[in-house]
Amino acid sequence: MSLKLKPGVVHGAAYRDLVDHCKETGYALPAVNITGTNTLNAVLEAARTAQSDVIVQMSNGGAAFFAGQGHPDKSRAMVLGAASAARHVHMLAADMGVCVILHTDHANRKLVPWVDAMIDIGQDHYSQFGGPLFSSHMIDLSEEPLDSNLSECARVLERLAPLDMSIEIELGVTGGEEDGVGSDDDIADNPKLYTQPEDVLLAYDRLNAIGPFSIAASFGNVHGVYSPGNVRLRPEILKASQDLVAETHDLGRNPLDLVFHGGSGSDLEDIRAAISYGVFKMNIDTDTQFAFAQGIGDYVQGHAAAFRSQLDPATGQPLKKQYDPRVWLREGEMSMRDRVVQACRDLGSIGKSVAA
């Protein structure tokens, strides 16, 4: 399948075509969480460097941080920060010559109003520009009863589908330090960490007629980085889910669009097995946060005097060119860029941008 799309933020048919292309060609896209213009620009630069399309996403906390920690209303900051970041991507993505899926990350029950508020803004954007502000939103009600989870996801998808948007849902709980599920001692065998194929089939039956959706099915994956041996990924669970839906509905291979959460620190063998079972998106956050911090940290260590004094204690010369934020923040950007390029290489997306 040869595919060429207009560079920039994709949605609707272009989004579907890009996802299908990933699955049919056998690669996945990195989904990188951003918190401000520096991390956002690093992701876009990485995509251009790797000639890979990319998924830019933000959590509610990342969106609030984008709006500024000084904003007086935290709930409103989450909405405005997300919208501001999205508009930043719309302004720059096409010039970077790649296709970008624009997404928001985990939203549990208390954060559903955040998603609804972003959809409200997205409806205004759609009316003005003929397309949505975001490509997709995520609803994560995996800790709730399955019927409650799917009913709410169906309600939200009914709002998204007319805007040419998709929804990402989660079945099973992705463990780790961010979620309060599992620990270094018990995370390997926690039964909550494995999605049942029958639940995936129910999700397909409930959502498929409404609009496009993707599923973050848990197969032992966790958020964060854990010591070797503490995480036991079982990608074969993804295959079982794909096979059950395909057989039940007489569909072709890998009919589901699957998402790999907790990709930081994963073995290449598990990553590539997951891709072969229909994963088109892998979240990476912990490793890119560390890369950004490491670039800045290395620079600060190498220019310590500039972060203690405006003048060199030994020579009396100004140190402004060393403590200029544009210098050390750029070091963080380049370090994060390189880590995202590595993710593109691991996922097989390097050199495969479909941007015309």
Q: Which residues are catalytic?
A: 105
Four-CA torsion 274, 275, 278, 279, nearest 10 degrees: 80
How far, in whole angstroms, is CA 267 from its chain's centroid?
A: 19
> Would residue 145 be called left, alpha or beta, if left means φ above 0 and alpha means ψ between -120 and 50 degrees?
beta
Q: Are the C-beta atoms of residues 268 and 274 closer than 8 Å to each other?
A: no
The CA-atom distances, in angstroms, between 123 and each of 108, 115, 163, 183, 212 are: 22, 12, 7, 41, 18
Cα–Cα dist 14/104, whole Å:
18
**Four-residue CA torsion sign, 204, 207, 209, 214:** negative
Residue 320 one-letter amino acid: K
